[in-house]
Homo-oligomer: A and B are copies of this chain.
Amino acid sequence: MPLMTSWVASANAPGHPFPLNNLPCGVFSVGDDDPRCGVAIGDMILDCRAAEDEGLLNLDDAPVFDVPFWNEVMELGPEAWAALRARLIQLLKDGSAERAAVEPLLVPMDQAEMNLPFLVAEYTDFYAGRHHATNVGTMFRGAENALPPNWLHMPIGYNGRASSVVVSGTPVRRPWGQLKGPDDAAPRFAPCARFDLELEMGAVVGTGSEGPVTVDEADAMIFGYVLLNDWSARDIQAWEYQPLGPFQAKATATTISPWIVTRAALAPFRVSTPAREVPLLDHLKDTGPMLYDIDLTVTLAPEGKPATEIARTNYREMYYSAAQQLAHHTTSGCPMTPGDLLGSGTISGPEKHQRGSLLELSWGGKEPLTLDTGETRSFLADGDTLTLQGAAHGDGYTIGFGTCTGTILPALKDPYAR
């Protein structure tokens, strides 16, 4: 599919992240106005609430854009999502008969503040990147036992904390936690000294389910994708995670990009999962290409200094697709809810520069990374700004995600001072 041209001229610029092919879904506010749903087109945002009020968008008998989140649209299901996309293309394409009615409803993106695009019902994080799991496993258990025995048979995941999900741009406060190094006689309560990022994609579950769903059904339930940074306190995690998994290490914040890029926009970029070393059980088998060819980068900018690219990889490196993760998630009958967010797990490629966390990039702190500024990093320093970016490159156009960024604030001096 080539570039679809829009009468919003900026959307047609080569390499622009938000051409008519994209139409990602966000929630924005301008000045003191209430936040509202919008769709990105070039350098502008189409105000969906206004478009609904004006009768230009009619998805359902009742309004769906009278709330500042996309959950109500998501609950309408895939047919409504397709109808919305078709209607938006009709309104925004070059030569649209309705340009005059739509043009007043566009807001310059640089005047808008972005909010969380949806109410996060529950958040699940997976561990589905083979290179990441192998790297971490090698560091912690040795190369012979790098992958846990279950890893090649199902996407390993754990429930995260939905309340910790924040939108790109929200500062992230370095957490306190209970820590005990291998040489410490006793644990202590102190600020995290090994604070890290994790480069992930997030799949946004659009429709709910009651019982087990197939991989195909799971794929159809996914509304779209965001970039996701699963901030991780490695020293808290090391002490707490046996036997029940990560808890406070992952609860400080999880940052997502402000635009949900829909499954429809990503359809041309579908790719297959890697070859299977052992066959998956039937209920998890691949039924078609369900990963996506999305280039991903991470930059780190020390406070007041230029950014260095510290990682460059691709979502296609994952071993399991979000559809397989969601199918596995429902095997026990676990009910899924519109607005559930599934983190892919850290996305690392086979090469050193393709690793999606500082834990891997600095090999547990043993090989500090040298930034372009000359500084080194084993883990994150106060004031560091981390930025994830993602783009799928089509035939003469790009599908962008916007940025997923966060700056590290120093730990509170006394977390219990009131």
Contact = CB atoms under 8 A, between A and B. Distances in A.
A161 B161 contact: no
Interface in A244-272: 244-249, 251-253
Contacts of A8: none
Nearest to A245: B245
B233 A332 contact: yes
Q: Which of A157, A164, A239, A335 has the most CB of B within 10 A?
A: A335
A274 interface: no
Q: Which of A121, A176, A337 has the most CB of B within 10 A?
A: A176
Given A188-B281, A281-B187, A332 B251 contact: yes
Interface band, chain A: 35 or more
Contacts of A244: 127, 156-158, 241, 245-246
A373 interface: no
Q: Which of A127, A154, A245, A337 has the most CB of B within 10 A?
A: A245
A60 interface: no
Contacts of A249: 332
B148 A283 contact: no
B163 A252 contact: no
A214 interface: yes
Contacts of A211: 173, 412, 415
A162 B243 CA distance: 21
B177 A332 contact: yes
A159 to B, nearest CB: 4
Given A163-B337, A252-B334, A336-B163, A282 B245 contact: no
Interface in A376-418: 412, 415-416
Interface string A146-187: 001110011011111111100000000101111010000011
A156 B243 CA distance: 8
B121 A247 contact: no
A158 B161 contact: no
Given A249-B332, A333-B252, A336-B163, A178 B154 contact: yes
Interface string A209-248: 0011010000000000000000001001001111111111
